[in-house]
Structures are given as C-alpha cells and as structure tokens.
C-alpha cells in the first residue's frame, strides 16, 4: 500500500527577543531593529506537524489522539505562554527565529513521530518549513499587489482570442488583487537562527516586484508583457526571474513562487529561474 502523509495542527502563544549578548545595545538595535527591544514581543504561532506512514487495518497512518498528546507533551506544554529565549536550552545557543523554532520542534518530536515536515507560522504572511536537514530551512513571505491585464495574442483575431481565453480576452482588460508567496531556502546562522535578513528580503521583493507591478496594466506597463501573455503562470515565472539574482545576493536561494490570481486560481513555480530577468528582457527585445 502507498505511503500517506497526515498533518496535525496545533497552536501556542509565546514571546521572544532577538538579542545577542556579545553585541552592544546599538549593535543589536541595528541588526534586529524593533525585535531587539526589551522585554521582547509575542506571536500566536500555528504549528503543522506532517508525518508519513502506511495506512493500517484501522484505516489510519497514526492514531491522531496519540499524536495530539505527544505534541502537547513534547512541545506545547513547554512553549505555550512562554518566553522562548529561556524556554528551551537550544534557544540560548541560537535565537528563536521562526525557522529555528521549527528546527528545534523537529528535534523534540523526531524520536516520537515519523516526521516529514514541520511548518510554523509566526504570522499569516510569514512562516518556515523544516525537514530535518541540519541547519537548512525554508522561509516564506506573503505579500500582494493589484494589477490589470488582458489575455490575448496579437497575431490572433478577437474571436480567436475569445475562444482561447474567454472573458479574459475582452479588449479593455480586467484586474486582480494578486496574493504572492515568496519562499527562499538556506542555512540558519548558528547565532541568529536566521537564514536571511528578513528586512533585506522584504526590500528586495518590494523593489523588484511589488513597486514595479502594483497598480499597473501589465500588458502596457511591464515591457516583458508587451509580447508575452500575462497569464498567472507567466506572471509567476516573470517574478521568479526578477527575484532569482537579488535573492541570491542575500545568501539564500529562491525555492518557490506561488501566485494567487483569485481565491479559485493559483500557480507555483519552483527553484531559481533558468533565465534571470536580464535574459528575459533580451528575449523580448529580440522578438520585438
């Protein structure tokens, strides 16, 4: 019988502070910003514990009541309403960033459960995934932009475009509130627990994607889409190309771009782009 992955959800509320004793007050403030303020700040964390196994004669991979008790005993009882920096010894060695908390939760649960992924939400627009690979983790940022587009190929008639794209081919276009998820992967710093400077990553996403694309008519305002139909799939691939090199300069790799065009439609592309944005621009210039 095929293996099956099951996931159990849990929650805890806790506070933490980003602070390295070896640094001065000013150095900590420069490095961690508001997160260095005393006595810290808090989050309502949401935890997803994913496990794998064979389906047994009772139709289960694991007894989820027992899984719930294990998570409560090994994780929630210690972390709920705690100050994370002192809750577990591991956080005195490496700061309790979202990605490091996920890593240590894995270590605590791995002797008891057949884990395949720990996913920890610090915020609905910030979460980490950890799969037991040393100090390697993924971090996801959610953001959004609004834009209009028209789906049509210039070489086709309006009737032909309508046959392919339906209402999306109407001459004056239409708009969406796009939700974007950017996932990067890398190694956690042994002291800070971070795989990337979060503010720098946010700045890169805003500079290379959000500011240029927000409140635009993609076909007219983004040169790439003068020749390429701005479907959700092509927009996701374009964003992947825009971010591949800027993300790499921050010391991490682009892992995934997920774009929601609407609550009903989304698409994902994985890994760094094989054609960073300069190559895509050259391709459009040649085609024009």
pLDDT at position 90 is: 97
pLDDT of 288 > 70? The answer is: no
pLDDT at position 275 is: 79
Q: State the catalytic residue, choosing from 41, 160, 215, 268.
A: 215
Q: pLDDT for 3-31, tens place per residue?
A: 999 999 999 999 999 999 999 999 999 99
Spatial contact of 157 and 101, defined as CB atoms under 8 Å apart: no
Q: pLDDT for 118-134, tens place per residue?
A: 999 999 999 999 999 99
Q: State the catalytic residue, choosing from 74, 99, 122, 261.
A: 261
Assign 266 a pLDDT band (cuts: 50, 70, 90): very high
The pair of three-digit structure tokens given for residue 44, joined into one six-digit string: 């309502």
Measured distance CA(15)–CA(146) in Å, rounded: 34
Measured distance CA(269)–CA(235) in Å, rounded: 10
Q: pLDDT for 132-153, tens place per residue?
A: 999 999 999 999 999 999 999 9
Residues forming beta bridges with residue 54, ordered by sequence position: 3
Average pLDDT, rounded, for the chain: 94
Assign 287 a pLDDT band (cuts: 50, 70, 90): very low
Q: pLDDT for 44-96, tens place per residue?
A: 999 999 999 999 989 999 999 999 999 999 999 999 999 999 999 999 999 99
Domain ranges of the chain: 1-134, 135-288
Residues forming beta bridges with residue 14, ordered by sequence position: 43, 82
Assign 283 a pLDDT band (cuts: 50, 70, 90): low
Pick the CATH number of 135-288 from 3.40.50.10860, 2.30.110.10, 3.20.20.70, 3.30.479.10: 3.30.479.10
CA atoms within a 13 Å half-sphere pointing along the CA-CB vector of 101: 34
CATH number listed for the domain at residues 1-134: 3.30.479.10
Catalytic site residue 168?
A: yes
User: Same fold for the domain at 1-134 and the one at 135-288?
Assistant: yes
Q: State the catalytic residue, choosing from 136, 168, 187, 267.
A: 168
SS3 label, residue 110: coil
The pair of three-digit structure tokens given for residue 225, joined into one six-digit string: 């889409």
Does the CA dihedral 161-162-163-164 come out positive or negative? Answer: positive
pTM of the model: 0.93
Catalytic site residue 3?
A: no
SS3 label, residue 51: strand
């Amino acid at each position: 019988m095929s293996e099956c992955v099951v996931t159990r959800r849990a929650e805890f509320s806790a506070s933490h502070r980003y602070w390295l004793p070896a640094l001065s007050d000013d150095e900590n403030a420069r490095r961690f910003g508001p997160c260095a303020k005393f006595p810290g700040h808090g989050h309502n964390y949401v935890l997803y514990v994913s496990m794998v196994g064979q389906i047994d004669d009772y139709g289960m991979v694991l007894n989820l009541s027992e899984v719930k008790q294990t998570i409560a005993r090994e994780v929630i009882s210690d972390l709920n309403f705690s100050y994370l920096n002192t809750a577990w010894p591991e956080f005195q060695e490496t700061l309790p960033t979202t990605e490091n908390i996920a890593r240590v939760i894995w270590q605590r649960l791995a002797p008891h459960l057949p884990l395949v992924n720990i996913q920890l939400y610090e915020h609905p627009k910030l979460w980490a995934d950890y799969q037991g690979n040393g100090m390697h983790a993924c971090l996801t940022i959610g953001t959004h932009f609004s834009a209009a587009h028209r789906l049509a190929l210039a070489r086709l008639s309006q009737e032909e475009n309508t046959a392919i794209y339906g209402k999306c081919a109407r001459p004056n276009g239409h708009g969406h509130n796009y939700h974007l998820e950017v996932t990067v992967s890398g190694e956690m710093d042994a002291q800070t627990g971070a795989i990337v400077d979060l503010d720098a990553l946010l700045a890169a996403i805003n500079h290379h994607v959000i500011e240029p694309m927000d409140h635009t008519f993609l076909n007219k305002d983004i040169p790439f889409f003068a020749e390429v139909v701005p479907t959700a799939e092509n927009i996701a691939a374009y964003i992947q190309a825009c971010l591949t090199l800027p993300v790499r300069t921050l010391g991490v790799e682009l892992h995934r771009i997920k774009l929601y065009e609407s609550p009903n439609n989304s698409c994902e592309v994985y890994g760094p782009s094989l054609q960073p944005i300069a190559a895509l621009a050259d391709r459009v210039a040649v085609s024009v």
